[in-house]
Amino acid sequence: MSSDTATAGPSPSGVIHDIGYRTYSGERVGRLGIVRALYWHSLRSAWGLGRGPRAKIVPFMALVIMSLPAIANAFSVSKTGVHAIRYDEYMYSFQLVLVLYLAAVTPELISRDIRNRTLPLYFSRPLRRTDYPIAKVSALITAMLVLTAAPEIMLYVGTIGSLHGGSAVWRETRAFIPGLELALLYSVVFSILAAVLSCFTGRRAFATGAVAVFFFGTYVISSAMVRLTGYRPHYVHDGGPDGSGYFVKPSSPGMGPKISGLLDPANLLEGLKEWVVGSAPKNADVPYPGSFGIVYLAVLVVLCALAAFLLIRRYQKASLL
């Protein structure tokens, strides 16, 4: 045995294995292809597609909750001819559903890569640091637009199906278009704000809490300040000849309620809508801003610009690498 061992000599220290590695020889899509793939993957993730059943519960439940009133309203219009809710009131009435959706979905899109430290993998490719947040926010805006626009489209299609005459359809279309534009505006503003609130932490619970507390907290504070500064909803007298109906309250709420409406994104959007339309609807929760509406527009532009700047700046920090 000793002679065999001596003959064999020392064993080699390493072995090279041929694993059949081949370099990639296919088409290289480049930067735009990576952005498109990231956008599409993020959009699917926002609706839980390609993930487990639990990831689909909140998105599709939110879509069902948003759609059921539209279906019921369309049925009511076909029977009575009266809208229970207008197109341009839909988003404000169901903003709670929008916030819950964002609180559940945005951390999955924004915070997950920070928590898992996968950002260096993205930035090691020909992907600029500004491309990543733009792709993510664009996917979130698209997902929100599905949630906001789909119910209004259902309501519109269901309503015009029971109308007679081109003039009635055109009148309904004129009411539908501002509601659709408002849905787009809600989707853009809410998505940008939710994204910037989620990008500063990798912990899902903290990101969810930040989104929920910001939107709920600002709404409660703004609505309370509107009332405390003396505003009451503007009721319109539309009663019968017997004198029944609404009592007409003053339509000039003063400067306090108008400034208070700036403290919440939803109230800010509603005040801006009333300023663009030129009047406040019946029982409006937000005072008609009048000439102060230009301030609403300026605050909205500055708020979105600041949020976009902070979001892009977050991904330009060297510590992410």
Calculate the CA 47 to chain-centre distance. 13
Domain boundaries along the sequence of the chain: 29-320
What lies within 8 Å, CB to CB, of 17 at 6+ separation is none
Distance CA(90)–CA(182), nearest Å, equals 9
Q: What is the DSSP string of 15-38?
A: -----------S---HHHHHHHHH
Per-residue pLDDT of the chain (321 residues; tens, 9 = 90+): 445 544 555 555 667 666 777 776 777 777 888 889 899 999 999 998 888 888 899 999 999 999 999 999 888 887 777 777 888 889 998 999 999 999 999 998 998 888 878 777 777 778 888 889 999 999 999 999 999 999 999 999 988 887 777 888 898 898 899 899 999 999 999 999 999 999 888 888 999 999 999 999 999 999 899 888 877 665 554 554 444 444 444 456 678 888 988 999 999 999 898 888 776 666 677 778 888 889 999 999 999 999 999 999 888 875 554
Q: State which amino acid sits at residue 118.
A: T
What angle is formed at CA 46 by the lines to CA 43 and CA 47, rounded to 5 degrees? 100
What angle is formed at CA 67 by the lines to CA 63 and CA 72, rounded to 5 degrees? 160
What lies within 8 Å, CB to CB, of 186 at 6+ separation is 91, 95, 98, 144, 148, 266, 269
| 278's tokens | 């030129």
